[in-house]
């Protein structure tokens, strides 16, 4: 029996994890078993914490993107199969990754055709980011080689999903739909809100087809690698403790603002900055996101009560020197530790630039 393999791509911060949780709810409600696969360049992932907190079985692939760790992807799927035998795999590739058709979808079909039905490739976009990149609106942006990756992601999509429709009025929405349709005519375009649920059924309906077997796009791996090398990555886990209870929601917001302002001063564009804070007791979780240096922090989940001890996980991806990102986060942690009278012990801190993507397989045709 073959399981569905649904991959939801898109740039950092587009809403992939939020959308995958919606897909998981959708399939679970129809009696299907789901298994989720998260992916990152390194471990200590906010996304894994979020999806595990929702109770879904999840496997985390770290140390590179799906395409460069293809065997880890199939191993992760095998582990999920042994644990829960999913009917549907939901996989989130790294947001700075492209060429998924040739390096993941076609190899899966060719090598494991009997095991998986590969759904059309969805690529999510954040409408504010996309409107800037397509020149419809002004604002802070990434540099050309990072934009190369962004555009390649859209070029290989079967379905371009404009997410966050709740942020758009009809005029902005139509302008974006037209611009994307004109530029990326190979894709269906569907506009949804993973937050409100608006129009998700129209998108989910398209995923029951199989991916179109067209020739994969050409990719200049030098430009792709240079684009990734412009991005800084920081993953950190701290254990925080205080003698008296403190407001964890306020702490995350404060920390996000300090880091955001520091990066704005250094003219660094944030792609995605996300944090979770989990008290050591209970199952509550605070989640905070920033999806652009000029975007205000957004608390997705708030803690119901103050806490004294907890684990803070922080993932920052921005177009800038990782040392600079690290300096801003360290400074922010010192400031909040002082203000909230807490001790923050780093359990794991890593900052780096993603290495050159070297796919395990690359198959331009099916
Ligand atoms: N307004 C709005 N925000 C959303 C929507 N979907 C996701 N987000 C927010 O976008 C941010 C990034 O979402 P996430 O799912 O982590 O993005 P990922 O990096 O692509 O996995 C978070 O703050 C989400 O709450 C949506 O439909 N509307
Ligand atoms: Mg994510």
Centroid of ligand 2 to alpha carbon of 80 (angstroms): 19
- Structure tokens of 92? 């989130």
Residue 152 has pLDDT above 80, yes or no: yes
Residue 30 has pLDDT above 80, yes or no: yes
Write the residue with the smallest CA distance to atom 23 of ligand 1: 289
d(CA 220, CA 152): 10
d(CA 107, CA 327): 41
Centroid of ligand 2 to alpha carbon of 12 (angstroms): 7
Segment 133-149, tens digit of pLDDT:
999 999 999 999 999 99
Centroid of ligand 1 to alpha carbon of 18 (angstroms): 6
Residue 235 has pLDDT above 90, yes or no: yes
Centroid of ligand 1 to alpha carbon of 94 (angstroms): 15
Write the residue with the smallest CA distance to atom 19 of ligand 1: 13
The confidence band for 71, taking pLDDT boundaries of 50, 70 and 90, is very high
Would you say the CB of residue 14 lies under 6 angstroms from ligand 1? Answer: yes
Q: Please report the pLDDT score of residue 213 as a whole number.
A: 84
90 Cβ contact partners less than 8 Å away, ≥ 6 residues apart: 6, 8, 20, 23, 24, 34, 35, 36, 37
- Mean residue pLDDT of the chain comes to 96
Q: Please report the pLDDT score of residue 111 as a whole number.
A: 94
Q: Please report the pLDDT score of residue 211 as a whole number.
A: 75
* Sole residue written with tokens 């605070």: 286
d(CA 104, CA 71): 10
Segment 302-323, tens digit of pLDDT:
999 999 999 999 999 999 999 9
Q: Please report the pLDDT score of residue 212 as a whole number.
A: 77
- In this prediction, residues 96-107 reach a mean pLDDT of 97
Write the residue with the smallest CA distance to atom 17 of ligand 1: 15
Look up the pTM and report it: 0.96
Centroid of ligand 2 to alpha carbon of 141 (angstroms): 20
| Ligand closest in space to the Cα of 165 | 1
Would you say the CB of residue 45 lies under 6 angstroms from ligand 1? Answer: no
Write the residue with the smallest CA distance to atom 14 of ligand 1: 15
Segment 190-223, tens digit of pLDDT:
999 999 999 999 999 999 988 778 999 999 999 9
* Minimum-distance ligand 1 atom for the alpha carbon of 192: 27
Would you say the CB of residue 12 lies under 6 angstroms from ligand 1? Answer: yes
- Structure tokens of 284? 């509550």
Write the residue with the smallest CA distance to atom 24 of ligand 1: 15
Residue 1 has pLDDT above 80, yes or no: no
Contact 343, 240 (CB under 8 A): yes
Write the residue with the smallest CA distance to atom 22 of ligand 1: 289
Segment 271-291, tens digit of pLDDT:
999 999 999 999 999 999 999
Q: Please report the pLDDT score of residue 366 as a whole number.
A: 86
Would you say the CB of residue 164 lies under 6 angstroms from ligand 1? Answer: yes
Centroid of ligand 2 to alpha carbon of 138 (angstroms): 25
Segment 325-362, tens digit of pLDDT:
999 999 999 999 999 999 999 999 999 999 999 999 99
């Amino acid at each position: 029996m073959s399981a569905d393999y649904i991959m939801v791509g898109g740039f950092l911060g587009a809403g992939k994890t939020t959308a995958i949780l919606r897909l998981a709810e959708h399939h679970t409600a129809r009696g299907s078993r789901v298994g989720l696969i998260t992916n990152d360049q390194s471990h200590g992932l906010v996304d894994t914490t979020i999806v595990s907190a929702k109770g879904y079985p999840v496997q985390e692939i770290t140390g590179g993107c799906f395409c460069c760790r293809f065997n880890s992807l199939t191993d992760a799927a095998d582990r999920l199969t042994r644990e829960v035998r999913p009917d549907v795999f939901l996989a989130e590739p790294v947001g700075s990754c492209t060429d998924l058709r040739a390096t993941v979808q076609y190899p899966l079909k060719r090598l494991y055709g009997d095991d998986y039905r590969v759904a059309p490739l969805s690529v999510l976009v954040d409408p504010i980011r996309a409107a800037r990149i397509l020149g419809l609106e002004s604002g802070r942006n990434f540099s050309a080689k990072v934009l190369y990756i962004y555009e390649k992601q859209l070029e290989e999509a079967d379905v371009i999903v404009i997410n966050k429709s709740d942020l758009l009025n009809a005029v902005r929405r139509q302008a974006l739909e037209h611009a994307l349709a004109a530029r990326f005519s190979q894709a269906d375009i569907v506009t949804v809100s993973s937050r409100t649920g608006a129009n998700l059924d129209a998108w989910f309906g398209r995923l029951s087809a199989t991916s179109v077997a067209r020739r994969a796009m050409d990719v200049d791996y030098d430009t792709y690698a240079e684009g990734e090398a412009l991005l800084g990555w920081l993953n950190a886990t701290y254990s925080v403790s205080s003698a008296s209870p403190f407001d964890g929601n306020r702490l995350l917001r404060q920390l996000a603002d300090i880091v955001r302002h520091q990066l704005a001063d250094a003219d660094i564009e944030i792609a995605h900055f996300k944090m979770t804070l989990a008290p050591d007791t209970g199952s509550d979780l605070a989640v905070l996101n920033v999806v652009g240096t000029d975007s205000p922090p957004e608390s997705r989940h708030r803690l119901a009560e103050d806490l004294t001890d907890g684990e803070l996980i922080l993932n920052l991806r921005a177009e800038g020197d990782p040392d600079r990102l690290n300096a801003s986060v360290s400074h922010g942690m010192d400031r909040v530790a002082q203000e909230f009278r807490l001790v923050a012990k780093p359990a794991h801190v890593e900052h780096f630039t993603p290495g050159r993507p070297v796919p395990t397989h690359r198959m331009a045709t099916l």
